Amino acid sequence: DTGVSQDPRHKITKRGQNVTFRCDPISEHNRLYWYRQTLGQGPEFLTYFQNEAQLEKSRLLSDRFSAERPKGSFSTLEIQRTEQGDSAMYLCASSFLAEELNFGPGTRLLVL
Amino acid sequence: EDKVVQSPLSLVVHEGDTVTLNCSYEVTNFRSLLWYKQEKKAPTFLFMLTSSGIEKKSGRLSSILDKKELFSILNITATQTGDSAVYLCAVPYDKVIFGPGTSLSVIP
């Protein structure tokens, strides 16, 4: 399967714990995006990379969130000291420049 | 601030009806507009529109862009229950901004 993959698909954690999600984009895509989506809302932009450079990070994103794409291939999104409000679906997408985004299946996070 | 607005936010129709979904945008350096369909999983791509007035079609779905008035519409004819989903409009310029989506429910 050459689509975008995300791991894990589901994560349940206790408030205050750290979590890390991984995204493997389509190999020839140079852009990688992270979004957060809650029920009834459209995907909310978090951050994006072009190759290994993080070009923009949402101003809504607290310092507890950090993302990396160390070799311009896979990316990780870490949330430190999770809060119940972090419960959401975290979507990763990749594209070649700012064209059609191909989404992964998402990681559903539940913070208890 | 750049934004994408969709209307209506929700819609309930009967099978066989035709629906029109709206998307308007205010974005600097506009290049294209994307439509996605989202069922109970990640969004799947429908259309990319770059030029005004040129209709894109895929089966019962069609879409058109008006760059002068800064909006796009997505039409679905002869709706089926399988069309029930959230339809998302997005505008990529560097990051990609999504609208809130239109939740469509098609009832038999």
The CA distances from residue B69 to B22, B62, B87, in Å, are 12, 19, 21
From the number of C-beta atoms within 10 Å of its C-beta (0-12, 13-18, 19+), residue A36 rates as buried
CA distance B49 to B47: 6
What are the tens digits of pLDDT across the range B26-70?
Answer: 988 788 999 999 998 889 999 999 988 889 999 999 999 998 989
**Cα nearest neighbour of A57 on chain B:** B95
Whether B31 sits inside 8 A of A98 (CB atoms) is yes
| Residues A25/A44, Cβ–Cβ less than 8 Å | no
What are the tens digits of pLDDT across the range A20-42?
Answer: 999 999 998 999 999 999 988 89
Count of other CB atoms within 10 angstroms of residue A75: 26
What are the tens digits of pLDDT across the range A49-98?
Answer: 999 999 988 887 789 999 999 888 999 999 999 999 999 999 999 998 76
CB contacts under 8 A, B 55-84 vs A, are none
Of residues A41, A48, A105, nearest to B95 (C-beta): A48
Strand order in the sheet with B61-66: B3-7, B19-26, B71-76, B61-66, B56-58
Of residues B42, B93, B101, nearest to A42 (C-beta): B101
Q: Note the residue count of chain A.
A: 112
Closest CA to B93 of B11, B8, B25, B19: B25
Inform me whether the C-beta atom of residue B44 falls under 8 Å from chain A C-beta atoms: yes
Phi, psi of A51 (to 5 degrees): 55, -125
From chain A, pick out residues whose CB is under 8 angstroms from the CB of B100. 41-42
Beta strand pairing call for B61-66 and B71-76: antiparallel
Cis peptide bond prior to B8, omega within 30° of 0: yes
Q: What is the pLDDT of residue B80?
A: 97
